[in-house]
Amino acid sequence: MSRTLVCFHAHPDDEALFTAGTMAKAAAQGHRVVLVVATDGGQGLAATEMGHGAELATRRMAELQASADALGVARVVHLGYADSGLDGPIPPDPPGSQRFCRADVDQAAQRLAQVLRQERADVVTTYDEVGGYGHRDHVRVHQVGALAAELAGTPRVLEATIPRDLIAGAVRWLAKVHRFPPEFDPTAFGRAFVPASAITHTIDVFDHAGAKRAAMAAHVSQATADDGDRTLAAFLRLPKPVFSMVFSREWYVQSRGPVVPPRGRWWPRAPAAAGDIFAGLPAQAPE
């Protein structure tokens, strides 16, 4: 049975980092995959030559489409909001748009719910309530995504995440071979995302690591800054076999929808832990 997966992200490139393997896997299995971004990414960190504001936003939306093409995405939607920036004072709203963190949650949720209804989405991915690592646009994605799924009656919500102990260890290892940019706080990941015990879905995406790598590579503007390479560039420098191993899993916490029964005593609290995001969903009603 063909299903529909909608992945809701804050900025262009978030999809490549968090859900690209899941998207590529679902598309390869014949499911419909839709990518929705809340913002245009115009406040992203990038080298001066990549532009800023509207110029950078235009570039990043083109990169998003290239990423989507690499993953087999059927439709890309921008909700129409502007990037709020990672931290510091929120920039003024650009003409004709609004910073996403200022968006009315109900209004934004209605926009997303319209897409979910149009697509008859079976699963929508969002982020956890702290946005993974605290980005204010990611927090808004959680708020908007949860409400939109309720409004649209989307059967399952999965919050894209990373086991914090795993990523903290990976960052410590990477710090030995890579110089992080000044704004990067490697200790933050010890406080970010969720503990491994909270994970409900672990998706094996090893066979789709090539598509995930291509999605990352599409976001050229996010690989460098004026003071040197960013973390994305370090990921892309990994030899392909190493990359495939490092990025062979993607993780989710289910916050809404039918739970698959545990699969035996070795999975005492792990619904759908074997890795099928569509497992246990009710049959689709005929149109």
Condensed to tens digits (0 to 9), the pLDDT of residues 227-259 reads 778 889 888 999 999 999 989 999 999 997 777
Q: Given a cut of 50, is residue 273 above it in pLDDT?
A: no
Pick the closest to residue 187 from 209, 164, 211 (CA basis).
Answer: 164
Q: Which fold has domain 4-163+199-256?
A: Rossmann fold (3.40.50)
**pLDDT tens string 131-190:** 888 899 999 999 999 999 999 999 999 999 998 877 766 666 666 666 666 666 666 666
Q: How much of the chain exceeds pLDDT 90, in percent?
A: 63
Question: How far is residue 136's CA from residue 183's CA, in Å, rounded to a whole number?
Answer: 16
- Total-model pTM: 0.89
Q: Given a cut of 60, is residue 263 above it in pLDDT?
A: no
Pick the closest to residue 160 from 175, 141, 176 (CA basis).
Answer: 141
Return the CA Rg of the chain: 18
Indicate the average pLDDT of the chain. 88
**pLDDT tens string 60-101:** 999 999 999 999 999 999 999 999 998 889 999 999 999 999
User: Residues 45-54: what's their mean pLDDT?
Assistant: 85
Q: Given a cut of 70, is residue 262 above it in pLDDT?
A: no
Q: Could you tell me which residues come within 8 angstroms of residue 153 by beta carbon, excluding any fewer than 6 positions away?
A: none
Burial of residue 274 (number of CB atoms within 10 Å: 0-12, 13-18, 19+): middle
pLDDT score recorded for residue 192: 78
Domain layout of the chain by residue ranges: 4-163+199-256
Question: How far is residue 116's CA from residue 40's CA, in Å, rounded to a whole number?
Answer: 20
Return the higher-pLDDT residue of 59 and 134. 59
User: Residues 273-278: what's their mean pLDDT?
Assistant: 76
Q: Given a cut of 80, is residue 287 above it in pLDDT?
A: no
User: Predicted confidence band at 8 (pLDDT cuts at 50, 70, 90)?
Assistant: very high
Return the higher-pLDDT residue of 20 and 170. 20
